[in-house]
Amino acid sequence: MSINFRQSADTYRISRQRMVETQLIPRGIHDKKVLEAMNRVPRHLFVDEALKNQAYSDHPLPIAEGQTISQPYIVALMTQALGLKGHERVLEIGTGSGYQAAVLAEIASRVYSVERKSALLARARRLFDQLGYKNILCKLDDGTWGWKAEAPFDAIIVTAAAPAIAPPLVEQLADPGVLVIPVGDEFSQTLTRLVKQDGETTVQELGGVRFVKLIGEHGWKS
């Protein structure tokens, strides 16, 4: 049993390395901290058992509650866009599988993650405990309101598509700070990077994406 387990672990380790070398670096993921985090986090633990053999493939995968775990490249792209150095407090809207939060936790000082579906949050919490991520705090709530009690945040990442950037998230973003969010209609969005600096905000478009809808008071109603 120990030999099989070791062989399995080696297989996944090789798959992660291949993912970084063939999917991320050639597409412009250059932040060393992001590449190291993507190479460390065991993505196969965040997907259903039947999909483990696809965990490091170049596409999103379905998870419970009609949600998805994003394509590895998109996770890396959004993380890189935050420009994390290691000291930051990061707010994540949409815990989902927990994979993005784990990648963030490998880099940031503290991650605050908000999820509206209790079953997803419960599973993610178990994984965080199993993997020893003590710097991830979670709560069940409407993420479009952010997490006011813990604000301000050095960086905010939204892992679902919004029709517009929720005002509470901009308010809870530190100055300076960076917010990354997919914005658009329910079929296609533009990955958007908002930077707050000296009381002003600037917006940069990072390309087209497709996410599940962000449900909430400041998102989609259903």
Q: Which of 8, 70, 109, 222 is catalytic?
A: 70
What are the start-end ranges of the H helices in the chain? 2-19, 32-40, 72-82, 99-105, 118-131, 167-172
Q: Lowest-pLDDT range, 7-21, 56-70, 73-87?
A: 7-21
- Domains in the chain: how many in total? 1
Beta bridge partners of 80: none
Instruction: Tell me whether residue 222 is in a domain.
Output: no
Q: What is the pLDDT of residues 71-126, one digit of tens each?
A: 999 999 999 999 999 999 999 999 999 999 999 999 999 999 999 999 999 999 99
Above 50 in pLDDT, residue 1?
Answer: no
Residue 214 belongs to a domain: no
* CB contact at 8 A, 220 and 186: yes
Q: Read off the CATH number of the domain in which 157 is found.
A: 3.40.50.150
In the residue annotation, 70 being an active-site residue is answered as yes
30: domain range? Answer: 2-209
Pairwise CA distance, residues 54 & 202, whole Å: 37
Cis peptide before 152 (omega within 30 of 0): yes
pTM: 0.95
